[in-house]
Amino acid sequence: MSLNFIAALLYLFLYAPLAVVIVYSFNAARFGAGWSGFTTKWYGALWENSLALSATKNTLLLAVSSTAIATVLGTMLGYGMNRFRFPGKALFGWFLYVPVFIPDIVMAVAMLLFYSLLRKWCSLFELGLTTMILAHVTFQIPFVAIVVRSRLVGLDPALEEAAGDLGANEWQTFRHVTLPLILPGIVAGGMLAFTLSLDDFVVSFFTSGPGATTLPILIYSSVKRGITPDINALSTLIVLASIAGTVVVTLLQRTKKV
């Protein structure tokens, strides 16, 4: 077998699931795998589906707010870890990788457990959008911090020294030199955090309450009941959004390099 043939098979393997979801979203049959004609009615049905609409709203609300918090905290963390010393820093540097590698489910049940313990004292931790945001920020922070820190490592320290030498105080140096130069890293970290939040199912599932259903949770519960064509339509839209997002980011990165 030639390399090209193997590669073609692997691409087919990677895209078969995406293709089947897209194809079946246009299948007229309500149940089963048989093909009974082309239709776009499921997309119309989706528009009528208030559950799907509110899940979309929740998902975006969750992703935007958690990303905003995580990007600010993660950037500060990445900057501080790169620039300053404090006792126990090496240990904390290790701990920062825990959310990156921890199995989703472990983090999810730890949160669930923690919230249920807290609820004995404080009603704020009633499962819902707030608890989901708190959980999402927790796994997003390290990703932002790590991306920002790697951008800082590549930065010539003389640039900040030059700013100080020219009369900029610490804040001015950060605002006018460091921030513009690490902005691509912050944007990249923020986009990573945003995508992680959009994609997350497990942590959301365990920390969500009634009325705080997100798209992944909606898809999961639908799949558990049996896949329906309108879920395929919803998934198709998500897949297309992911493709568009990835392509746009790739193009942006390319134009930046030239």
Q: How far apart are CA 70 and CA 145, in angstroms?
A: 9
- Quick one: tokens of 225? 């009941």
- Draw the binding track, 69-88, toward another protein (x: CB under 8 A; -: no contact): ----xx-xx-xxxxxxxx--
Which region among 39-47, 48-56, 60-68, 177-185 touches another protein (by CB under 8 A)? 177-185
Kindly state whether residue 185 participates in binding another protein, applying the rule CB under 8 A.
Answer: no
Distance in Å, CB of 85 to another protein, minimum: 5
Bridge partner residues of 38 (DSSP): 27
Which region among 37-45, 47-55, 60-68, 193-201 touches another protein (by CB under 8 A)? 193-201
Kindly state whether residue 247 participates in binding another protein, applying the rule CB under 8 A.
Answer: yes
Please say which residue, 37 or 167, places its beta carbon nearer to another protein. 167
Helices and strands: H and E segment counts in the chain: 13, 0
Of the chain, the end-to-end C-alpha distance in Å amounts to: 37
Distance in Å, CB of 50 to another protein, minimum: 21
SS (H, E, C) 110-141: HHHHHHHHHCCCCHHHCCCHHHHHHHHHHHHH
CA angle, corner 225, sides to 48 and 64, nearest 5? 55
At residue 233, what is the residue type? A
The correct pick among 52, 55, 132, 163 for binding another protein (CB under 8 A) is 163
Kindly state whether residue 12 participates in binding another protein, applying the rule CB under 8 A.
Answer: no
Kindly state whether residue 95 participates in binding another protein, applying the rule CB under 8 A.
Answer: yes
Kindly state whether residue 7 participates in binding another protein, applying the rule CB under 8 A.
Answer: yes
Distance in Å, CB of 39 to another protein, minimum: 17
